[in-house]
Chain A
Amino acid sequence: GEDVEQSLFLSVREGDSSVINCTYTDSSSTYLYWYKQEPGAGLQLLTYIFSNMDMKQDQRLTVLLNKKDKHLSLRIADTQTGDSAIYFCAESSVDMRFGAGTRLTVKP
């Protein structure tokens, strides 16, 4: 089946930039998403990008899409301790598929 892959862990220092990477296999993906999950909570939609775009910026968040390599990244500028959470990449073509999530730890 089609897969969405992410590295499981990322640790950064407060104030640094974080870059979370994701690869997917379905070339017919129409939208790609980033969700954030804090402890004990559901998934919160952070941002999404249409497959014909290569970049989207929203305040501290920058999404980059390389459709040729099927690579998606989320950059968080000036990372804060409140950004510590699990970040899920997801793609949709017929169904939405999620990666396993990247746990971001922000150290003071």
Chain B
Amino acid sequence: ETGVTQTPRHLVMGMTNKKSLKCEQHLGHNAMYWYKQSAKKPLELMFVYSLEERVENNSVPSRFSPECPNSSHLFLHLHTLQPEDSALYLCASSQAARVSEQYFGPGTRLTVT
């Protein structure tokens, strides 16, 4: 595997379900990010991790819970989501937090029914 990978690529879940999104980077980077991409809206930064420490949480509802067990892996745990949470969730990584170019995974297309 190379670059940034994300699983699953597609996910359909009910509002009462619990699921997790997984991201893995194979670039030796120290920072990882979760973004939400909704139709007709700019990319929204959700969380930033640098060396496994969360350095940013942009007023994201508590039904989204990130986890970064090491610098190569990032999870987004989901529970009791709402239909408006349906979106493409993109993971990215960079050498250093915020200031260096980010490399993106292919995203997970989430549909909440």
Contacts and interface: CB of A to CB of B under 8 A. Distances in A.
> Do chains A and B interact in one complex?
yes
Interface of A: 4, 30-31, 33, 35, 40-45, 48, 88, 92, 94-96, 98-101
Given A31-B99, A31-B101, A42-B90, A100 B106 contact: no
Interface string B40-79: 1111010010000000100000000000000000000000
A48 to B, nearest CB: 6
Contact of B40 (A31, A92, A100): A100
Interface residues of B, number: 22
Given A31-B99, A45-B103, A100-B42, 17 more contacts: A30-B99, A31-B100, A42-B4, A42-B6, A42-B90, A43-B90, A45-B101, A45-B104, A48-B101, A92-B98, A92-B99, A95-B45, A95-B48, A95-B56, A96-B102, A98-B42, A100-B40
